[in-house]
Every structure is written in C-alpha cells, then in structure tokens.
Amino acid sequence: MINVTILGATSTIGINTLDVIKRHRDQYDVYALTANTNWRKLEQQCRAFLPRFAVLRDEASAARLGEALADTSVEVLGGESSLLAVAEAAEVDAVMAAIVGAAGLGPTLAAVRSGKRTLLANKESLVMSGKLFMAEVNRSGAVLLPIDSEHNALFQCLANGSAAHSSGVTRLILTGSGGPLLRVDPVRLATVTPAQACAHPNWKMGRKISVDSATMMNKGLELLEAAHLFRMSPRHIDVLIHPESIVHSMVEYEDGSVLAQLGNPDMRTPIAHGLAWPDRVTSGVPPLDLARLGDLHFEEVDIGRFPCLRLAREVATQPQSLSIALNAANEIAVASFLDELIGYTDIPIVIESVLEQTSASEAPTIDAVVEMDGHARALAIHRIKTLR
C-alpha cells in the first residue's frame, strides 16, 4: 500500500488525484489532505477518504474543520509547520505537490528533502528556486515526477526522463492551446473580463492558471520549469500553438525523429502516470479516438499577442532573481485582474515594470529566494496602485 499526502487537495489537481486514487483503493491510501482555507471542501474529502491528517494553512479554518470532523478519526492540524510535517512524515511514500503558486515552495521542498516520490504540479517551485531545488532532489535521492501535462509528456518521450541522459535530443517542444482569447481581436483585449479569460476551451482549471493560459504565461513558466527539470538550455525549448490540446508536448532528436505524447485533455492521465510510474494504472480518462477527432493543427506563437511569453523567454537565460520576480509579479497582477482592480492588458505591464526594477543576481539560499519574492511582490503592488 502506497501512502499519499496531497498538498492542495481542494485544487483541480488535488480533486483529480483523489479521483484516480478512488479507482485504486487497494494500491493507494491517503495519509494527509491539505488546503489553504477551504475547510468545507476538505471536510467532504476527509469523510470520503478518512486520511490520518487534514491540514489547513489558515488556523481559523483548521479550527472550524476540527469541529466539523469531531465525529471521525481524522486529526486536524493548522499552520505552515503542519503542512511541512505531513509532507515529510516517515509514513508517507508519495507527495502530490499541487499547491498553487509560490505558497507551494516550502511544503514541496520538505517532501523533496525527505526523499519522497514527489509528483510536481507546482511549477512555481522550480521557477523560483531552480538550481537550488534540483540540488535538493539530487542530494536526497527523491524521485521527482512532473505532473503538468506538458512536462509529463516530455518525461514520457525522453529516455530516463531527462534530456541530459537521452542521446541525440535537439529540441523540446511545448504545446499550448492558446487559451480562450486566441482568436479575439487584439483591440478588444483591454476589455476582457475575468470570466472571459477563465473560459478555457479544453481544460478545467483553477482561475489563476486559467488566466495564465489566456496570457500564455503558463507556457513561459513551463519553459523555465522544463529547462531545470530536463537540464536543457532554454534556447532549445520551443512553444507551439496547438488548439486541440491533444498533443501535449514533443521531443525532437538529431536523426529527425519527433516523439509526441497524445491524450485527451484530462489531468487524470499524467496524475495516474505519476502515481504508478514506472507501471501504469487506469485513470478514468476515455480512450483517444483519433479518427473521430480528425485534424490536428499547429501554429507559431504570435509574441505580439502574448507579451507574457516574451518576458518569460527573456528571463530564461538570466540570473534567478529575474525568474523569481517574473513569477511574483505575475501572481500579484493576475490576482488583481481577477479582483477587477486592473485590466487584462495591464498584466504584462505590471510584470515588465517589476523586471525593469529587479537587479540580476543569483539566489544562494532558499531564504534569499523568499526575500526576492517578497521584494518583487511589493514592487508589483506599488505599480498596480498607479494603474487604478
């Protein structure tokens, strides 16, 4: 029996992880479920799976959950330290790292440092800490398995899951649907609403990542993540628009071969792959019917339409402080857009302003990463005030 902790259980990834586990209760047991403040959803999940622990980062929400689950065997904990504890507990075999944004860095690192099989759905951890994060993976012997559909696809197409250990790799190709605004007239982008930006045509995702998909910042963050995960120069990582979201990514080899991983746009596929690797289990995803699907389309990215991707590519070869600033400014800008404090086209303006004010330097420690992240967030908040 494999004991699993799910960090971010009430997120889309967390919900889908529980759906896969439900199909294989004879193989997986839920050790801990965690969330930020959503105690009502976590209560439902706890009653269905009866984990040993339930953790809420917000201690007031944890108190409410404790009262609600008083009639069960579930032990409720609160606070950041409890998140770290259930990520690194000796009884845990695998950790699904699905906390959205920079908030996931600490608990994800705790899992890695304790040598867990870590299913990485929190791309921001690698974007922020890069070499430091991968050094911890190598030091601890943790098994790091990418869960983002694009990186999971690349992992499946590479020998030993790494371009550094695969013979003849010349290029990694990330695919992206282009999101819900791909065909919208550029002059109308300034009036795009949060609801429109979140209406993804293929994927069911949380609001933050849905906006990142619309701006294609998600591809920028994925480019940064892929460079660290697969030890590949960003110069050899490309992005293609693929509206159908069937080909999840590709690997090009020097003999002209291109290997691709295909599947229906459903996160249960990479989740099941990560849980079972190197074996396979059913995920609940319907088989892919290529004959019924018909054509698959690909096109180059219009950087003028997607300035966030341009900014991410520009920082990809720069010192770590700029990647940290990019991610922090994007989180603040997207949250402000969702709160209707700024417009859709203000998002890249905020990010570029923060980057211009950030000096290029490496982050020698995780504490330095956190400090740089906080500084960039303060710059973003100040810039947003000038736009309101």
Residues 180 and 291 in one domain: yes
User: Contact at 8 Å (CB) between 358 and 325?
Assistant: yes
291 and 322 inside one domain: no
Distance from CA of residue 220 to its chain's centroid?
12
Do 25 and 137 lie in one domain? The reply is yes
Q: pLDDT averaged over the chain?
A: 94
> What's the number of domains the chain is made of?
3
Report yes or no: 267 and 149 within 8 Å, Cβ to Cβ. yes
Place of tokens 């809420």: 56
pLDDT above 90: residue 153: yes
CATH number of the domain bearing residue 141? 3.40.50.720
Confidence of residue 165 (pLDDT cuts 50, 70, 90): low
Residues 112 and 200 in one domain: no
* DSSP bridge partners of 261: 249
Three-state secondary-structure class, residue 299: strand
- Per cent of the chain over pLDDT 70 is 98
Task: Decide which of 89, 118, 146 is a domain's last residue.
Answer: 146
| DSSP β-ladder status, 94-97 and 53-56 | unpaired
If pLDDT is split at 50, 70 and 90, which confidence band does 166 have? confident
Do 138 and 220 fall within a single domain?
A: no
Helix H segments across 257-388? Answer: 268-276, 290-293, 307-315, 320-338, 346-356, 366-387
At residue 205, the pLDDT reads: 74
In which domain, by residue range, is 62 found?
2-146
Q: Are residues 82 and 170 both part of a single domain? A: no
* CATH for 323: 1.10.1740.10
Q: Tell me the per-residue pLDDT of 207-265, one tens digit each, with 9 for 90 and over.
A: 888 999 999 999 999 999 999 999 999 999 999 999 999 999 999 999 999 999 999 99
Provide the pLDDT for residue 159: 79
* String of DSSP letters for 10-28: TSHHHHHHHHHHHTTTTTE
Same domain for 64 and 7? yes
Query: What pLDDT is stored for residue 44 in this prediction?
Result: 98
In tens, the pLDDT along 110-140 reads 999 999 999 999 888 899 999 999 999 999 9
- Identify whether 158 is part of a domain: no
In a domain, 356, yes or no: yes
In the chain, DSSP assigns E strands to 2-7, 28-35, 53-56, 75-78, 94-97, 117-120, 143-146, 169-176, 237-241, 247-253, 258-262, 299-300
Q: How far is C-alpha 387 from the geometric centre of its chain's CA atoms?
A: 28
Q: Are residues 303 and 329 in the same domain?
A: no
In a domain, 271, yes or no: no
Confidence of residue 102 (pLDDT cuts 50, 70, 90): confident
Same structural domain for residues 228 and 255?
yes
215 lies in the same domain as 125: no
Report d(CA 213, CA 200) in Å as an integer: 8
Compute the distance between CA of residue 205 and CA of residue 88 in angstroms, rounded to an integer.
Answer: 27
Q: Is residue 80, in this structure, part of any structural domain at all?
A: yes
pLDDT score recorded for residue 98: 95
Q: At what angle do helices 346-356 and 320-338 cross, to 10 degrees?
A: 150
Identify the band that residue 164 occupies on the pLDDT scale cut at 50, 70 and 90: low
174 and 303 co-located in one domain:
yes
358, part of any domain: yes
Residue 318 pLDDT more than 80? yes
**What residue type is 371 in one-letter code?**
E
Q: Whole-angstrom Cα distance, residue 16 to residue 45?
A: 12
Within-domain flag for 77: yes
Q: Please check whether residue 38 is in contact with residue 10, taking contact to mean a CB–CB distance below 8 angstroms.
A: yes
Q: Could you read off the pLDDT of 170-203 as tens digits, one per residue? A: 999 999 999 899 999 988 999 999 999 998 877 6
367 and 324 share a domain? yes
